[in-house]
Structure formats: structure tokens, C-alpha cells
Structure 1
Amino acid sequence: MTAHPIGSTAQTHVTAMTAREFNEATDAVVGNIERVIEGKTAIVRLALSVLLAEGHLLIEDVPGVGKTKLAKAMATSIDCSVRRIQFTPDLLPSDVTGVSIFNQDSHEFAFKPGAVFANIVVGDEINRASPKTQSALLECMEERQVTVDGETYRLQTPFMVIATQNPIEMEGTYPLPEAQRDRFTARVAIGYPDAKAELAMLDVHGASDPLDGLGAVVDAHTVARMIQTVRGIHVSEAIKQYAVALVTATRQAPDLRLGASPRAALQLLRTARAVAAFEHRDFVLPDDIQHLAVPVLAHRVIPTSDAQLARRTTDAIIADVVRRLPVNAEPGR
């Protein structure tokens, strides 16, 4: 089976940035997004960290807090290909991945790429699509490729899926299966703004949509260099052991019937590298792991029936696991 590149392929001869270049690029992107999302610097930085960790982001929150605006502002801030998918019950898998169409002139089948062939794919209300359509993203998100009619097509680099969903509206929705949720590097909730930020939002958003005047501040090649810089952040053996011990502890937690996967440990470390780079460090600290534990792990685990009856959230359970686990803990202990 041959892999065919579609659109722009992986960047060649990508060099890492200097600390100054990296800081200037990240500050530019964060500042640009904050022109649209007021008072949510920590969320914006985490979203960008997921991109630089070569992961995918799930934004889960109540209606009207800016889930789609955050996704679109982040996509607009980067001068690269962006596609938006509005997930609906009648959306087909071929609308996402693409389809082979018979060309009557050449008497051959030609592949027509779907919406997933872009650097950044914004999936709005992902849980409104059927499980069959949701599963079309599984291969894309993990292997960065699409297989249609026995042919494999490579996706562009960088590649990121930013999906939104409403956690409280159950009518006409299909909950994401565990395999799908596990492919999202992190889940974030934007939350309501404070009074000052909401007043500022009324002034800025009242007359016009700030997205209309938003432009790109970095390009795809710059993002590739930023990713290369993050890859070079040092992770000590002790930090690796702590990350594995944390993931192992979720599998042994009495309030969880399904703990975090090995993929979770890998993505936890990748995102920790990006967070360390944001903090102007070239090494990862235990604080980075602890800070990321809830957004990276909580959406991957399943609570027991007793925990659900007690109304314990997975966020609270993961926070308890982090609090009880010693920093010098070894895997399996």
C-alpha cells in the first residue's frame, strides 16, 4: 500500500529556533488570539502548547463562552491551510476524509480530498455527528494519514484537529467513544469570563466581530520550527518515571474503572515540553506534569458507578491522584 502526499508535505531541513525567536513567535500568537478571547491567557497558552506538542485539542464547555471563536482565532493566527467542518447527523465519513470519483475522460478513479486535508481542522460540535463519521477521524488524528479504497494519503504538516462540543446538551448528540477521546491530547473548558473581561468583551464585540480584522502572525514553516524547538526540550529519567507512575496510578485508583492509556503518558510528556518552552526553560519540571495532569488525563478515564453516584468528576479524581502521589514515585508503586 503506497502513501501519497496531498498538498504541502512535511517541512524539510527544519531548524530549531533560538529562545528569543521562540518567545517572540509565541507572544505574537497568544496576543493575537487574546484580541478575540478576553481574559483567558492560561487557556490560550495551553491550546498553543497542544499545537506545538503535535497534538489535538478538545474544547468542551457550555454554549456562548467562545469555544468556536477560540478555535477559529487560533487557526486564523497561523498563515496555513484551515478547513472548518460543521458536524451534523447527516455528515458522511467521505465528507471528512475524501472520496474516489470516476473520471469519464480518463476512465480512472481520481481522489477528491476531504475537509481533513488542511494544516488546522476546526470541527464544530463534533458530538453531533454519527459514530461512523466520528470514527473517520481516528486514523487522521493518530497516524496523520487517510486510507480510502485501499490507498493511503499523507496529511499536511503541521496538522491539528481542534474540536468543540457542548457537554450538557444530550438531545441529538452522540458521545465520543473512548478511542476517539484518547486521541485528543488535552481537553479544556474556557469557562465564564470575569466581570472586567466581560465588560471589555461588550466594548470590543458589541460593534463588530473581532475575527473579521484578525490576521496571521506566523506561517506554517515558523510553526514547524517552533515544534522542532519543543522536541529539543530535555526530559530527565526521573521526570519520565514520574509521568509513568502518575498514569499507572490512574489505573489503580479506586474511583476509576478505566485509567489512562500509554498514549496518555506520551502526550503528557510532549505537552510538558511545550509548557517548559513557554516558561523559557530547556528542561521539564515535575510542576509541568502536575499542571497538565487534569487537561491531559481527565477526559481519557472512566469513573466507577459509585463515583458517578457521588457526583465525583474525573477532574477531581485526577487532581486527587496527583496530590497523593509523591513526586519521587516510581512506576507501579
Structure 2
Amino acid sequence: MAAADRSLSAVAGAYDAKVVGQQRLRETLLVALLTGGHVLLESVPGLAKTTAATTLAAAVNGTFRRIQCTPDLLPSDIVGTQIYDAAKAAFVTQLGPVHANVVLLDEINRSSAKTQSAMLEAMQERQTTIGGTEYPLPEPFLVLATQNPIEQEGTYQLPEAQMDRFMLKDVLDYPTPVEESEMLRRIDAGVYDLDRTDPPVVELHDVQAVQATARQVYLDRTIGEYIVGLVYVTRNAAQYIDPQLARYIEFGASPRASIAFAQAARAVALLDRRDHVLPEDVKSLAHRVLRHRLILGFEAVAQGVPVETIIDAVVAAVRTP
């Protein structure tokens, strides 16, 4: 536990040295790193998503790749392909940028459905298949996908099956005036200069050790039942929450939500230097675990009902153990 705390403190310190504010994003990334889950980030441009991803990869001495999603992006541009080597008179495999420890899929909803589906095997199976041969992805492996909520022209909605494979979805806010002033100060100080390289604070084997520690965090049976209860209410909302809100839900969360709650709650407890999960850990994750798993009907979208309002009603409907 002490070794895990040192490693997490070092990574958190490296994050704070580069990224101003965005403390919830820091927790989200650390939870994903500890659990091996993937994160969907939604925000307007310029809120440090790329900086946070590159900082995390550098802090753990991992490889980082950024994939700018565009409508003409092909699956082979992500997973890799076979090319003909005339000197050897044979085809050789060239692995794609997804073969990295931290992969940033920038504006994932700008890629076509076929290209988006190419990420499913990588995210779920931790491997790619090229020319009939399976290639395992490095460990740890973390996908950070971003969406721009403002400009929707020329975008493709993510399939529900792929949305469900993201453990967490976080929505980033603008920095405060104080944080934005600090950002300008750091720019003047050269913190973000391209020729500046910061040494890693931990190694990849340290991350894998901390992941093993996170899996050992105690989750009581009553907490597990609380998690299942939350997810169950999303599927049977009319029986538990205000009917006006319940009718906005077309489909509730899948069992992957319960799994995500359990894994992420263990990580949150470890980040808080505890060896056991509290109900508050689960509650703190409710928005991030459920906001992309609740499928709302057209009426909710037309009336501008935030999905977070419905999630809050679900949480309030389930008794806290």
C-alpha cells in the first residue's frame, strides 16, 4: 500500500506540474490507469486534454500516440496494415499507432462508423488482428477519446456498443480566472516549450504493481448490492423515480456499468489512501459511469434535460448502505 501511494503521488505531482486545474480530470485519468479502463472526454477545444494525456504517458515512461480522427481515416490507419517489402519479396506487418500505452483519439466522432469499430477489438480484447495474426497491445493500455459538443457538422454518432466500452465519460469545464492566469504564467516560464522534456516519475512495472494493489481493495458485499441497485433502477426507473424523469429514459445501463462502478470505486478508494470502498466512492462516480450509458429519448433531447439530472434522481432513489 505504501509503494502504491508513493507511485500515485508521484504521477499526481507530475500532472499538477503541467496541467492547471482540472482536478476531476486528474482523478479520472488515474482511475483509468489503475483499472485499465478507457475514458471518453467531452469538452470544447483548448481545455488541456492533449496536455493531460501526454503528461500522463511521460510520467509513467509509457509510449504516447495521438490519432486525429477525420472522415477519411481508415481502420488500417489505426490498427496497422501489411505492406510489401520488395527487398524481401514478402509482406511485412506495420503496426498502427494504437500500439502504444496511452492513445489519444482526438474527436473520435469525426471518424466513420467502420473506423470507430476498428477500435472495439483493441479496447475490449487488448489486441489487434492484421492479416489473420493477432498482435497484443502493450500493458498498461489506455484509450482517451475526445468529443467536441459544439460543432456537430460532419460527425458520426458513436454506436452504443462502443460507448459502453468506455469505463468513464467526463465533461470538462472552463478554467477559473485564477487558473487561466496561472496557465499564462507557466507559458511565459517555458513549462510547455516543445524542447522541454520531463523525466518519468515511475516506470511501467510500477503502474502494473499499483494496478494489482487496486484490485485487492476491499469491496463489501453491501457496496456491491448498492452498485447493482443503482444500475437496476436505471432499467426500471418508472418504479423508483419521478415518472416525468423516468419517461425520458429509453434504455438503462448494461452490466458493464456495474463492473465499471466496482473497479473504479476501488481505484478511488486507493487514491484516497484507503484499503476499502465507501458508498461515497460509488456516488462520486455516478455521473462519469452512467452519463454515456443511459440512452435518452428524443423528448429529453428536445427539452434539454441533462442526463445528470436523471442520474441524480436515480442515486437519490437508492438507499445508501
**In 1: Cα distance, 2:59 partner to 2:51 partner:** 12
**CA-to-partner distance for each residue in 1:254-296, whole Å, 9 max, x for gaps?**
2211111111111111111100001111111111111101111
- What amino acid is aligned across from residue 212 of structure 2 in structure 1? Q
Q: Aligned runs of 1:188-203 on 2, under 5 Å?
A: 188-203=170-185
Partner of 2:162: 180
Partner of 1:285: 278
**In 2: Cα distance, 1:98 partner to 1:90 partner:** 15
- Choose from 241, 244, 251 the match for 2:235: 251
Whether the aligned pair in 1 keeps the contact of 2:226 and 2:318 (CA below 8 Å) is no
The answer to whether residue 146 in structure 2 is matched with residue 164 in structure 1 is: yes
**CA-to-partner distance for each residue in 1:48-83, whole Å, 9 max, x for gaps?**
111101101111101222222222222222202222
Q: Secondary structure at the match of 2:10?
A: helix
The answer to whether residue 222 in structure 2 is matched with residue 229 in structure 1 is: no
The answer to whether residue 48 in structure 2 is matched with residue 93 in structure 1 is: no
Partner of 2:202: 218
- What amino acid is aligned across from residue 221 of structure 2 in structure 1? E
The answer to whether residue 307 in structure 2 is matched with residue 314 in structure 1 is: yes
**In 2: Cα distance, 1:172 partner to 1:275 partner:** 37
Deviation at 1:117, TM superposition (A): 0.8
- What amino acid is aligned across from residue 234 of structure 2 in structure 1? T
**In 2: Cα distance, 1:320 partner to 1:73 partner:** 36
Deviation at 1:40, TM superposition (A): 2.2
Q: Secondary structure at the match of 2:285?
A: helix
Partner of 1:68: 50
Whether the aligned pair in 1 keeps the contact of 2:265 and 2:282 (CA below 8 Å) is yes
Q: Secondary structure at the match of 1:147?
A: strand
Partner of 1:57: 39
Whether the aligned pair in 2 keeps the contact of 1:73 and 1:211 (CA below 8 Å) is no
Q: Secondary structure at the match of 2:18?
A: coil
- Choose from 97, 102, 110 the match for 2:84: 102
Partner of 1:267: 260
- Choose from 221, 225, 234 the match for 1:241: 225
**In 2: Cα distance, 1:215 partner to 1:283 partner:** 33
Structure 1 spans left out of the alignment, 5+ residues: 1-18, 329-333
Whether the aligned pair in 1 keeps the contact of 2:54 and 2:64 (CA below 8 Å) is no
Whether the aligned pair in 2 keeps the contact of 1:60 and 1:67 (CA below 8 Å) is no
Deviation at 1:158, TM superposition (A): 0.8
Whether the aligned pair in 2 keeps the contact of 1:88 and 1:129 (CA below 8 Å) is yes
Deviation at 1:104, TM superposition (A): 4.1
Q: Secondary structure at the match of 2:44?
A: coil
Partner of 2:240: none
**In 2: Cα distance, 1:72 partner to 1:300 partner:** 27
**In 1: Cα distance, 2:107 partner to 2:217 partner:** 34
Provide the alpha-carbon RMSD of the alignment.
1.6
**In 2: Cα distance, 1:164 partner to 1:284 partner:** 29
Name the % identity: 42
Deviation at 1:310, TM superposition (A): 2.6
Shift of the 277–102 alpha-carbon distance from structure 1 to 2, 3 Å rule, reads same
TM-score by length of structure 1 reads 0.88
**CA-to-partner distance for each residue in 1:10-66, whole Å, 9 max, x for gaps?**
xxxxxxxxx222122111111111222212223202211111011011111012222
Q: Secondary structure at the match of 1:48?
A: helix
Whether the aligned pair in 2 keeps the contact of 1:68 and 1:164 (CA below 8 Å) is no
Partner of 2:298: 305
Deviation at 1:107, TM superposition (A): 4.4
**In 2: Cα distance, 1:211 partner to 1:226 partner:** 31
